[in-house]
Structure 1
Amino acid sequence: MLVVAEEVDFIVVGAGSSGCVLANRLTEDDATQVMLLEAGPRDRSFWIHLPIGYGRTMWNARLNWKFYTEPEPHMEGRRIYWPRGRTLGGSSSINGLIVIRGQPEDYDQWAALGNPGWGWHDVLPYFRKLETNTRFADDQLHGAHGPLHVSSIQDRDELVEAVIGSAVAAGVPRNEDFNGPRQEGVGYYQLTTRNGWRVSSAAAYLREARRRSNLEIRTDAHALRILQADGRAHGVEYMRDGVVRRVHARRGVILSAGAIQSPQLLMLSGIGPGADLRKHGIPVCVDRSGVGRGLQDHLQVRMIYRCNRPITTNDRLRSFGGRARMALQWLLHRSGPFAIGINQCGLFTRALPESKTPDIQFHVGTLSADMAGGKVHDFSGFTMSVCQLRPESRGTIELASADARTPPRIRANYLDAELDRRCIVAGIKFARRLAMQKPLSDYIAEEIQPRREVEIDDDAATLDFARQSGVTIFHPTGTCRMGIDDDAVVDPRLRVRGVDGLWVVDCSVMPTIVSGNTNVPAIMIAEKASAMIQQDAQ
């Protein structure tokens, strides 16, 4: 059954980190009508909004797409779990809350690759515009009046302080602000929280915007394809409640479905590698080989340690009294583990001698489990995860079916590049040496992962450990890359090349992955894009 179409000015597909921003900014003009389509439900779950609820949303099929990669050839053929948000706020509603912009050099490289307007000094005003920073709002790098609240961790943790102390002893400077004058260093992360609650992009941008009469938010609305005619996008076909519906766009369609589903939707609509589309019986509208190519992600390898004293979050979560004390601390003071989530401490440093800026990042959590979001171990444990910041390996997103409800094939191609293999080995070795450095070594009873059989100077065994245990840290990017070359999918103003009235605005447009967590960069991209779209779609 096909329902008669509605009509608005703009359709935004995907209410994630970027889509919520667009819905807000475009409807600031009360003459502009916007429809926001989200395949998942509203963000009503309590576990979304409680920072430590991360563990409850990681496997919730109602709130999480629960993707898997294809068997990874350089990871012993393992299929790796890729959680992605499926609710208002998208992945910002289920992520680890960490606020990292990346390095200025990341954005200057974007500009150097043929993307004018995307250098560091071009994007900095949008980073400032998006945030209200509770600690650093008085300098020239941070904002004081933006929708996204950014908070510092107030409680000092004994185990985290030991990690910081050992890193400083190893020559890594203490850093109070990874988004300040320099990224390199060790310290506490800032988080997208306010008064102990998660601040997703939906909380930051939709709570105000949803009261506007010119914004229509449709949840449980799965986009099927982009409607096109005469080289122009003029609407979206989507399914809701088992009924196929159409909405027309007078001024344009914006894809903000993320690095997996934005390219999937382009290909389902006939925009992508022609030979691949024909295999699925999809008529080719624009033969664009770059769609779905250039996939980049941060691979993380987790080192797990048994602590020799009961001071970890594992200990508190395992007992009723511990859980009660944490709950009371949150209820009375909006602080403690319930208000933080998983990772408190970060570290950025250079593992390879040729690197001019940090090439690895640590996420340090005072708990341990077999995987992120899993059941905590029955011992006093903590985790140090290391990831390579700028991988050279490239993967793909490919259609598995012409049915939009069938997940696409994800091939991350981790550790394909020699540089990536060298860097992850160097990063693991750095972490293990850090654990041997006082004062942290005084807190460690045993290294659980990797086992002692993997000698610290055995590069081959260390690489094997990375292949056996490495997983995503949830930062897919690059599959609708912006640029001016033939393979680029969007131009520097994020317009899809070859189709008028169509934009892609999310992490898929990144030409190269940023050096850190991708949530705040995704919000910045949308802040900048909203201004460009308003100019271009007159």
Structure 2
Amino acid sequence: MSSTAFDFIIVGAGSAGCVLASRLSEDPNVSVLLIEAGKKDTNPFIHAPAGVAGLAVLGQSNWKYNTTPQSELNTRRGYQPRGKVLGGSSSINAMLYVRGQAEDYDQWAALGNDGWDYQSVLPFFIKAERNDTFHNELHGTEGPLGVSSPSHASELNDRFIAACEANGIARNDDYNGATQRGAHILQRTIWDGERCSAAKAYLSPVLQRDNLTVLTNTLTHRVTLVDGVATGVVVSTQGKERVIKATREVLLAAGAFGSPQILQLSGIGEFDELAAHGISPQIELPGVGKNLQDHIDYVVDYRCNETHSSFGISFKGALQLIGDSIQWVRKREGRITSSIAESGAFFSTTTSTDRPDIQLIFVTGMVDDHGRKLHLGHGFSCHATVLRPYSRGTVSLASPDPKDSPLIDPQFLADPRDRQTMLDGARKMHEILTSEALLPVREQLLYPVDYRNDTELMADIRARADTQYHPVGSCKMGPSTDSMAVVDNQCRVYGVSGLRVVDASIMPTLVSGNTNAPTIMIAEKIAHEMKLA
């Protein structure tokens, strides 16, 4: 790095940071620095879509956070994998492209965030997207982010969709279109047979720009503040600490855990909490680290007799995997182009609204404990997720040492309304999985439970449910009248000049689906507005 000062410093090269770096550096008259704590995205498991299973087992490119004990989950500590690599969590996720519901964004606007209603954010979803299947006014075909439908989907998906239809959930091929409700083949951020992470889509094509610098293996400690102005960041590389100056702005894009941690380490947050760690308070914002929301997820696994149509551990499966891998290396085709999670459904557990409150994700393999517990044989699994939880958690400092993980307390199922929605959604999922359409391939449950017995079903949920990897909200966007708001509708941190937070942490409420596409949309929108200013 030849300079110690840049116009813009972006902290975190994940789904938002890569977008910001790419879009801001389009102006040749500004200098941009992108800082990532993790390594470059050279791991082959990142780029081979089915390699997501290997990433889960090996735990590579991953912060590997854990939660505090969760009282409603038998005091278990949940697992919170987050990307620690170029591309962030978009380099280790399951590559599902889900925008959420129009009502999600209209609610953001209703909470006082002007310009964040669905019609205002839709152009930025479209701007980002390059969709190979849906070509209409709701989708983009020329954006950086490749979105595709499976070319080698398992026949198990057809059985799952038929089972959904038999249980009153009609087929809806485009859940990112006019309506979300229905069963579908999933859209994925996979292009030309490879994962299309935010790094692949936005960063790799522009790395040659003279005005863009990317630092990897560099940990950000804090933002430097002078008289309420963000002037740069303190970072360390291989244990050596230094200060890098920002002449215009610092943008935190470190995610729902990293961004509030950096703010708190910088003296921005609730003063009593900062003082408890010996941190000199700078700007009092009690909302920093509050309002954490995440999707609670319950997985059901069945063994099955289909070795060809499912991923699993067997001699025959190993031979098939070798052939599949050779095909992918040579042609970028075949089953390795699968995200493994290939179909799903959205439905409502209540009759009072048609707006879905449960998401199902069907996986052509057994998934147990985030893929960290392996089982011999073949099978399929299904996730049930509460889309709009009422429970709220926190992200707080464990210590003033930036190398220490923050304390993450999602408060899963703390609100009884979430427990009821999960119970109703889980029961419906079990009914779908026991339907006649799956009978020819279905064998025994991996964890037997009588889903008709609410007490027994809730006990299974408490024993095994955990995150679906969608933490948001810990640096809430809101109007100045909201005492818990951290940023305004331009993602500018209240009380500080030259500092923004641009990532999933600014979402005031959790969207009804996966968060990668909405986070990319947020960064596209803010980058666009910054360039207009």
Shift of 1:61: 5.6
5+ long unaligned stretches in structure 1: none
For the pair 1:201 / 2:192, whether they are aligned, the reply is: no
* Counterpart-to-counterpart distance in 1, 2:22 and 2:41: 17
For the pair 1:241 / 2:246, whether they are aligned, the reply is: no
- Residue 531 of structure 1 corresponds to 528
Moved over 6 A (4+): none
For the pair 1:150 / 2:147, whether they are aligned, the reply is: yes
User: Where does 1:260-275 land on structure 2 (aligned, <5 Å)?
Assistant: 260-275=257-272
For the pair 1:490 / 2:510, whether they are aligned, the reply is: no
User: Where does 1:476-487 land on structure 2 (aligned, <5 Å)?
Assistant: 476-484=471-479, 485-487=482-484
Shift in CA distance, 172/317, structure 1 to aligned 2, threshold 3 Å: farther
Matched residue of 1:163: which SS?
helix
- Residue 181 of structure 2 corresponds to 184
Matched residue of 1:477: which SS?
coil
- Residue 71 of structure 1 corresponds to 69
- Residue 465 of structure 1 corresponds to 460
Equivalent residues of 2:358, 2:425 under 8 A apart: yes
For 2:5, the aligned partner's letter is: E
Matched residue of 1:58: which SS?
helix
Matched residue of 1:246: which SS?
strand
2:322 corresponds, among 324, 349, 352, to 324
Equivalent residues of 1:89, 1:201 under 8 A apart: yes
* Counterpart-to-counterpart distance in 2, 1:82 and 1:89: 17
For the pair 1:175 / 2:172, whether they are aligned, the reply is: yes
* Counterpart-to-counterpart distance in 2, 1:235 and 1:437: 58
Matched residue of 2:291: which SS?
strand
* Counterpart-to-counterpart distance in 2, 1:483 and 1:43: 34
* Counterpart-to-counterpart distance in 2, 1:178 and 1:408: 35
* Counterpart-to-counterpart distance in 2, 1:8 and 1:258: 22
TM-score for both structures, normalised by structure 2: 0.96
* Counterpart-to-counterpart distance in 1, 2:319 and 2:3: 56
Shift in CA distance, 531/49, structure 1 to aligned 2, threshold 3 Å: same
Equivalent residues of 1:15, 1:256 under 8 A apart: yes
* Counterpart-to-counterpart distance in 2, 1:465 and 1:293: 29
Matched residue of 1:22: which SS?
helix
Structural RMSD (CA)? 1.7
2:44 corresponds, among 43, 46, 60, to 46
For 1:274, the aligned partner's letter is: F
- Residue 474 of structure 1 corresponds to 469
Matched residue of 1:245: which SS?
strand
* Counterpart-to-counterpart distance in 2, 1:224 and 1:24: 24
For 1:112, the aligned partner's letter is: A
Shift of 1:341: 2.4
Shift of 1:456: 2.3
- Residue 336 of structure 2 corresponds to 338
Shift in CA distance, 275/531, structure 1 to aligned 2, threshold 3 Å: same
* Counterpart-to-counterpart distance in 1, 2:325 and 2:45: 14
For 1:121, the aligned partner's letter is: Q
Matched residue of 1:264: which SS?
helix
For 1:514, the aligned partner's letter is: V
* Counterpart-to-counterpart distance in 1, 2:293 and 2:299: 19
CA deviation string 1:467-500 (max 9, x = no partner) = 1000111000000000011110000110000101
CA deviation string 1:38-75 (max 9, x = no partner) = 00111111111111111222255651100000111111
- Residue 517 of structure 2 corresponds to 520
Matched residue of 2:512: which SS?
coil
- Residue 254 of structure 1 corresponds to 251
Shift of 1:532: 2.2
For the pair 1:308 / 2:296, whether they are aligned, the reply is: no
* Counterpart-to-counterpart distance in 1, 2:316 and 2:36: 37
Matched residue of 1:181: which SS?
coil
For the pair 1:373 / 2:371, whether they are aligned, the reply is: yes
Shift of 1:435: 1.8
* Counterpart-to-counterpart distance in 1, 2:59 and 2:182: 37
Equivalent residues of 1:23, 1:209 under 8 A apart: no
For 1:468, the aligned partner's letter is: A
- Residue 124 of structure 1 corresponds to 122
CA deviation string 1:119-155 (max 9, x = no partner) = 000000000000111111x300011110111111123
User: Where does 1:364-513 land on structure 2 (aligned, <5 Å)?
Assistant: 364-374=362-372, 376-449=374-447, 451=448, 454-484=449-479, 485-513=482-510
* Counterpart-to-counterpart distance in 1, 2:473 and 2:438: 38
Shift in CA distance, 308/320, structure 1 to aligned 2, threshold 3 Å: closer
Shift in CA distance, 156/409, structure 1 to aligned 2, threshold 3 Å: closer
* Counterpart-to-counterpart distance in 1, 2:72 and 2:190: 37
Matched residue of 1:17: which SS?
coil
Shift of 1:374: 2.9
Greater Cα offset, 293-302 or 57-66: 57-66
Shift of 1:336: 3.2
Greater Cα offset, 291-300 or 340-349: 340-349
Greater Cα offset, 273-282 or 355-364: 355-364
TM-score for both structures, normalised by structure 1: 0.96
Equivalent residues of 2:391, 2:411 under 8 A apart: yes
Shift of 1:175: 1.5
Shift of 1:315: 5.7
For 1:472, the aligned partner's letter is: T
Shift of 1:326: 1.9
User: Where does 1:83-94 land on structure 2 (aligned, <5 Å)?
Assistant: 83-94=81-92
For 1:64, the aligned partner's letter is: N
